[in-house]
Amino acid sequence: MNTSRLYRNGQLISGKFDSNEISELIQEPDVCLWIDLQNPTEAELQHIADEFGLHELAVADAFKGRQRPKLDHYDTHLFINAYQTLFNRETYELDVAEVSIFVTDKALITVRDDDKFDTNKLQDRWDESAALAKNGVAFLLWGLLDVIVDGYFDVVQQLDEEIENLEDLLFAEARQDLVIQKKSYELRKALVILRRNATPMREVLNPIVRRDIQVIGNEMAAYFQDIYDHVMRVSDWTESLRDLVTTLLETNLTIQGNRMNLVMKKVTSWAAIIAVPTAITGFYGQNVPYPGFNAVWGFWVSTGSIVVISVSLYFAFKRRDWL
């Protein structure tokens, strides 16, 4: 066991106990345990499974990992799979930490493959709400799910701030198209991962809120309802941000198209101006007699025509904002 806790009559008795004591402890009335297993061997996990009578399918899911967020009902316990999320502002990547949870009438058992899951924050949450510890396993489960869902809130708020910064960058005078494109796709990817892990939590919490699970008492029902409301808000917020990022991508493409049209308009305008002297000099370059042929005044007429017509076209295009 990486970490553990022992509660008796709603009071924290010990922050550590030996796994060999489990058989005796679970026989005592008003005892509640938290057992945390980090990267356990198959034998270690099987030992805990034998102590609490955990179903072999749930044990296999916890050992293999990479399960979708879900809630499975068994005769003597529940199995929950969930993910904690953390947004890295430097790399724009969304880190996830998987945790498998067994909920029995006497214990909350968490299984993790690594140390990404922040158990210190979890224990702080329990200590801050010690008055609810009398509710036993329901209290421990509430603290765990509350920390996970609060993590979703932190991530979605950070993503919202990054999208606002991206909006400012999108309409800045000194545009950086490559940076905008890169950040847009990175934020969209992070939102997809968050949605994949946060949205299914509605199905995890829904049976708890409906009180289909006996381990949850009446006093804790309101607290689980609060978590459920937070999950719904995160889900809706995530969908809104995904739509907003899509809109930003489309707006960026539209701005690029408008800029390209402006460039083409300017190039076409300059081409029209340049075409005037080309046409006049081409006309006067004919090897046949014409008005002003082989005369000084013909040179000045052609030169004056070039200057007057070119300047007139320039100001006409400028007035129409084509240049």
Count of Cβ atoms closer than 10 Å to residue 139 Cβ: 24
Task: Report d(CA 54, CA 21) in Å as an integer.
Answer: 18
Q: What is the mean pLDDT of the chain?
A: 86
At 6, phi and psi to the nearest 5? -125, 120
Highest mean pLDDT among 55-64, 277-286, 291-300: 55-64
Asked if residue 108 has pLDDT above 90, the reply is: yes
Tens-digit pLDDT profile for residues 14-35: 777 777 788 888 888 889 999 9
Over range 294-311, report the average pLDDT: 80
CATH fold, domain 3-255, is: Beta Polymerase; domain 2 (3.30.460)
Domain ranges of the chain: 3-255, 263-319
What DSSP element (H or E) covers 6? strand 3-8
Lowest mean pLDDT among 18-32, 177-191, 253-267, 281-295: 281-295
